Structure formats: C-alpha cells, structure tokens
Amino acid sequence: MKKEEKNVEEIKEEVKPKKKKTAIIVVTIIIVLLVILAGVGTYLFMYNKKATVKYENEIKEISKQNSMAIIDYKEDVENNTTWTYEDLESKLIDKDKLAKGTEIKITINDEVFKEGDTYTFVIGETKIDIYLNKTYTYKVFKEETEVIENKKEIVITIKDTIAPVLEGVKNQAITVGDTIDLLKGITAKDEVDGDVEVKVEGEVDTKKAGTYKVKIYAEDKSGNRAEQEMTVTVKKKTTTTTKPSTGSSSSSSGSGSSGSSSSGSSSKCTYTSTLKKRGYNSKDADACEKDRQASAIAQQIANEINAKGYGTDLEKVQAAAEKVSSYYDWNNHVEEGYDYRTPYGVFVTHAASCAGCTRALIQVLEYMGFSCEHANANSWTHQWVIVTMDGQKGFADGQGGFAGYGEWHV
C-alpha cells in the first residue's frame, strides 16, 4: 500500500509541469486572439471613419453643387407679365449645374407651381421658393440612404414702367377772341390705374394771333408719364368781303381757282369741274367766292413750305399735312351743309370733315407741284391723299396731320 501511495504522489509531481505548460499555451493563444481582434477592430474603425468622411464630403459637394444651380434672380418684372413653368425654371435654375437625379419643386406664394401652370405677376412682391431634393445612397457595412435638400427663397419685385396711353391729341386752330378747351376729347388710360387725369403744360393767348405749342400729359401712380405736343394756331379775324348778288369774282392768277372771272369783274360765276373737284356744290351761289378765299390761303401755305427748303418730298408733304390739320377744328367736326367737304370749310370756317381736309391738302400739294389722288372720295368713310414722294407711293392725312411712305390703312 505504501508503494502505491508513493507512486500517486510521484505521478502528481510529474503532471504539474505539464499543466503549467498547457496553461501557458492557452494564455498565449488568448493573447494572440485578442491582439488579432484588436487589430481587426482598429482596421474596421479606421475604415468606417475614412468611408464616413468620404461620403460626408460627397454629400457636401452635392449640396454645394445644387445650391449653385439656383440662380439669384434680382431683376424687376413688369406688371402683367406672365411666366410659364418652363419660363420660371429657365430663369431661376441652371439645370446644367444640377446633380443628376435631383428633383425640383417650386412654390409661388406657398402654392405649388407645376408643369403646365402659368403665373401672371401683379404690382407688389412675389415670393418664390425653390426646393431641390437629391437622394444619395452609400454603403459602408450596409447600404444607407440620405436625402440632400436645398432650398432658396427668391422675392421678385413687380413694377409698372409703362406710361398711360394718350388719345385724341390733335393740333387745333381758332380765331382771335375764340374760347378753346385744350383737353376736350382727350383721354388717358393706364394698364394699372385705368383712367388717368390729363393735364396741360403751357398757355395759349386767345387774344393774340400766333402759333402756340403746349404739352398734353398724363402721369400714373407709378410716376410713368406720357406726353404729346399740341400746336394751337390763333389766327387773325378774317374780314368778310361783301358778296355780289350774281356771284363773286375769282382770285388772281396763281390762286388756283378756275371757272370764275378775275377780281372786280361783274361776270357771273361759272361752276366748273375744278370747283366740283374741290367739293363745292353747284347749288351754292357763293361757291366762287369761297373758292377764291380758300385758294388764297392754300397758295400761301404752299409758298411758305416751298420757301423753307426741305430736303425730301416726305418732309414737304408732312409739313403741308400738319398745316392743314392745324386749320381743322376737331371740336367743330360737321358733315352737313355746303362747306364741310371743301377747302373753304377747313381754311375759313374751320367746320369740316375728313373729306374737306383731304381736298384742302390736295389743293396745297398741287400748288407745291405734287400729283395727288383722293382716296375714298365721296364715300362715307375716312379719306386721305395718295401722293408720290421721293419716287415712291405714299399717303398724307390732312385731318390727322401726318404723312408717310406706303399704304395708309384705317
């Protein structure tokens, strides 16, 4: 028994070194594993950090890129201007700079503005919001998705820069002592303010003969001003010649009258084709005397224009049209009686129609050497002169006081 017990002790002593060696090996393995795990962990940590920085920078670049694609629109817009959705996109977004796949959303005054919509700007300010959304997908250990958002508010100022429209401004002619309302028949309308008050700058001395120029103007609430110049001719009073009971004499040579005898003659007035062409009625016993007075004025106008040495035919005809129009009184437009369709009605009584203005202008132009045609003669519509100027066909309007090349369309 003692021998056996000794053997057990001996065995124990022999096993101890083996256990110690095994423990050392296990600890070593554990340490190695821990070192490996630490290395892997460090690597994964550094990899994640590096990838995160990379994607964060990419996100920043996309956000910056889309931000730069929004145009900082600073121009004022005219009232009543209409933009389509395409107009708005092209003016406010540079699509060439957008990150691929970016979605666009636009609101005007907090209401969504879509393709196919139109918007009309009105006086004041309009708030436009631009939203850009880009879905960004990246992967480190697993796939992640992030929406990159850009927003910019643009405030557009809408202004009214269009002046009112003046209508009815015409040159006028009166006789010394007459009263005149310079603003009669003149109106001014504005797109925003509607009817606008019309005013006058300048004065006309109705007691003194002469030519006066005044400004007719209107100004809207935005300060836009429209103005036109008006010429007012104040003429001396005409001394009326006593008419012979059998018809009066004609003017001397160069007056343009035909079919009547020379001044002082007691011969009876003869109604001729020239008087008919000038619109005088065969039943008017005073036709010859009226033609004489009108012809004297027409000849005087022609002489004055020819003496000014205008460079072109158009300038001469324009001057003649303005002069005839200055004799015509828009406030005394008539279409009845004997005189309204004659030069006498324009030059002497200032009571006429477009027919009389046309014939008066033809008489002046013929004295100036032009060949003329009466457009729409003897018809109840607007009439004017067809005349060749500077080698080309043109028109002249004695009522309106203007001329030009080409066709005149009412």
- Same domain membership, residue 279 and residue 362: yes
| Residue 136, domain member (yes or no) | yes
- Residue by residue, DSSP assigns 339-379 as STTSHHIIIII--B-HHHHHHHHHHHHHHTT--EEEETTTS
| 385 sits in which H/E element | strand 384-389
- pLDDT digit string, tens, across residues 112-135: 999 999 999 999 999 999 999 999
- Same domain membership, residue 182 and residue 131: no
- Same domain membership, residue 336 and residue 395: yes
Domain range for 389 is 273-405
Q: Which of 235, 260, 289 is the last residue of a domain?
A: 235
| Residue 204, domain member (yes or no) | yes
Task: Look at residues 147, 183, 143, 142 and name the one whose alpha carbon lies nearest to residue 166.
Answer: 183
Looking at residue 47, its pLDDT comes to: 67
Looking at residue 224, its pLDDT comes to: 94
Looking at residue 200, its pLDDT comes to: 95
First-to-final CA distance of the chain: 149
| CATH number of domain containing 207 | 2.60.40.10
Report the predicted TM-score, pTM, of the whole model to 2 decimal places. Answer: 0.44
- Same domain membership, residue 386 and residue 280: yes
Report the C-alpha gap between 300 and 317 in whole angstroms.
15
- Same domain membership, residue 102 and residue 77: yes
Task: Count the domains in the chain.
Answer: 3
**Residue listed under structure tokens 């828009």:** 330
Q: Which of 159, 193, 217 is the last residue of a domain?
A: 159
| Residue 57, domain member (yes or no) | no
Looking at residue 244, its pLDDT comes to: 36
| CATH number of domain containing 82 | 2.60.40
- pLDDT digit string, tens, across residues 249-287: 333 333 333 433 333 333 456 778 888 899 898 888 888
| Residue 20, domain member (yes or no) | no
Print pLDDT tens along the chain (410 aa).
445 555 666 656 665 677 777 888 888 888 888 888 877 777 777 767 776 778 888 889 999 999 999 998 989 999 999 999 999 999 999 999 999 999 999 999 999 999 999 999 999 999 999 999 999 887 766 778 889 999 999 999 999 999 999 999 999 899 888 999 999 999 999 989 999 999 999 999 999 989 999 999 999 999 999 999 999 999 887 654 433 333 333 333 333 334 333 333 334 567 788 888 998 988 888 889 999 999 999 999 999 999 998 989 999 999 999 999 999 877 678 888 888 899 999 999 988 888 999 999 999 999 999 999 999 888 888 899 999 999 999 999 998 888 999 987 65
Q: How remote is the C-alpha of 329 from its chain's centroid?
A: 32
Report the C-alpha gap between 57 and 35 in whole angstroms.
33
- Same domain membership, residue 400 and residue 281: yes
Looking at residue 21, its pLDDT comes to: 78
Question: Cα-Cα-Cα-Cα dihedral of 303, 307, 309, 312, to 10°?
Answer: 0
Looking at residue 261, its pLDDT comes to: 33
Looking at residue 11, its pLDDT comes to: 59
Looking at residue 141, its pLDDT comes to: 66
